[in-house]
């Protein structure tokens, strides 16, 4: 049986306190299940933004999408997580990633390690969060036990293995570092390559479920983990193929047909978009989709089409 859809919106801008509150109220009214905040310099600080969102909403979960582990000390992060979970009444979902934007590390005066070093730090961060938040002596205490649900986002084998062992939600980037481009410039992988990444995750999750395998007691198994994908563009249009031709220069390695079936792009009218998400759930297992703030209103009719399914 297919997992029910969930929809999140990644909120990126802060104009004023009241504008932020109104935006969160509107996202709830439009039917979003999760209000999310990323972790980039120049965007709102995630935890105070989520605590404020909790004050003016009732139903949505609240999450980080995703924290850059390289910007955080694990002990200080555990304090932030526990505090935010308490202030939001146990509605927090913690998203973590290894980080990919070197310029942000440079601006913060923090080292930007190799991909291996960044994943090493993420592995350490996850282990420390689980240790600290499961300790009944840790103060403050999170509402959710032993910790808020964990989302881990990425594409490589090591990160997918980590998600399989520790996370309730696996978020697939569907992108890799663009060859010859500045560090942090990503390009889409093909739908076929994305499908392979999902198969790899399921294989790692099955391995983690074997007797004696190391992992978190809270992590979901291969068949029960929630799979997330970030939709990069929501494009209402009466001609999907013409719209794809406009975008072809941004993904020169992919054919028009590959772009039309790629979950990063959602094109057509509301019914066509809903059909695309059903197809993605069938093909990849994605049931939790996130859109960016500027697509919040354009995506709302799709939520209406898929509500409760």
Q: Give the pLDDT confidence of 48-79 residue by residue, as tens digits.
A: 999 999 999 999 999 999 999 999 999 999 99
* pLDDT tens column, 23-46: 999 999 999 999 999 999 999 999
Q: Say what the pLDDT of residue 186 is.
A: 74
Give the span between the Cα atoms of 119 and 99, in whole angstroms: 9
Does some domain include residue 68? yes
Residue at 1 is within a domain? no
pTM value is 0.95
Specify the residue for token string 């935890």. 47
Is residue 201 over pLDDT 70? yes
Number of domains within the chain = 1
- What is the DSSP secondary-structure string of 251-276? -TTS-HHHHHT-TTEEEESHHHHHHH
Residue 287 structural domain: 6-306
Query: Pseudo-torsion of CA 212, 217, 222, 225, nearest 10°?
Result: -170
Residue 175: what pLDDT? 82
pLDDT of 167 strictly over 90: yes
Residue labelled with tokens 């993605």: 280
Report how far residue 159's alpha carbon sits from residue 182's, in angstroms, rounded to the nearest whole number: 22
The answer to whether residues 229 and 174 touch, using CB atoms and an 8 Å cutoff, is yes
Could you give the maximum distance between any two Cα atoms of the chain, in Å?
A: 59
Give residue-wise pLDDT tens across range 259-274.
999 999 999 999 999 9
223: pLDDT strictly greater than 70: no
CATH code for the domain in which residue 237 is found: 3.20.20.30
Three-state DSSP class for residue 37: strand
Record the tokens describing residue 47, joined without a space: 């935890």
Q: What average pLDDT does the structure give for the chain?
A: 94
From CA 10, how far away is CA 294, in angstroms rounded?
9
- State the alpha helices, DSSP H only, in 135-190: 157-166
Cα 59 from Cα 104, distance rounded (Å): 33
Q: How, if at all, do strands 169-172 and 175-177 pair? A: unpaired
DSSP of 182-249: -TT-EEEPPHHHHHHHHHHHHHHHHHHTSTT----TT---TTT-EEEEEE-EEEE-S-HHHHHHHHGG
Closest CA to 163 of 215, 117, 217: 215
Reference 99, options 163, 26, 41, 178; nearest CA is 41
């Amino acid at each position: 049986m297919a997992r029910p859809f969930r929809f999140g919106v990644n909120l990126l801008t802060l104009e004023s306190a009241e504008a932020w509150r109104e935006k969160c109220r509107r996202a709830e009214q439009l039917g979003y299940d999760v209000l999310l905040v990323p972790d980039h310099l120049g965007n709102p600080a995630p935890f105070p933004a989520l605590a404020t969102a909790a004050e003016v909403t009732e139903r949505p979960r609240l999450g980080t999408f995703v924290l850059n582990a390289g910007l955080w000390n694990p002990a200080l992060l555990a304090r932030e997580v526990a505090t935010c979970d308490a202030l939001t009444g146990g509605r927090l979902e913690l998203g973590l990633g290894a980080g990919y934007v070197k310029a942000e590390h440079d601006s913060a005066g923090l080292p930007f390690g190799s991909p291996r070093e960044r994943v090493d730090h993420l592995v350490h961060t996850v282990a420390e969060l689980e240790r600290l938040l499961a300790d009944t002596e840790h103060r403050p205490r999170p509402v959710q036990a032993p910790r808020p649900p964990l989302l881990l986002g990425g594409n490589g084998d090591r990160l997918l293995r980590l998600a399989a062992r520790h996370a309730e939600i696996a978020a697939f980037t569907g992108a890799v570092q663009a060859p010859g481009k500045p560090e942090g410039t990503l390009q889409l992988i093909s739908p076929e390559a994305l499908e392979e990444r999902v198969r790899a995750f399921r294989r790692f999750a099955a391995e983690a479920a074997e007797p004696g395998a190391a992992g978190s007691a809270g992590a979901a198994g291969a068949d029960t983990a929630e799979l997330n994908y970030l939709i990069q563009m929501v494009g209402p249009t009466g001609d999907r193929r013409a719209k794809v031709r406009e975008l072809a220069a941004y993904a020169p390695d992919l054919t028009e047909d590959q772009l039309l079936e790629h979950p990063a792009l959602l094109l057509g009218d509301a019914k066509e978009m809903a059909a695309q998400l059903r197809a993605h759930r069938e093909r990849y297992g994605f049931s939790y989709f996130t859109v960016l703030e500027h697509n919040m209103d354009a995506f709302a009719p799709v939520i209406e089409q898929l509500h409760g399914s």
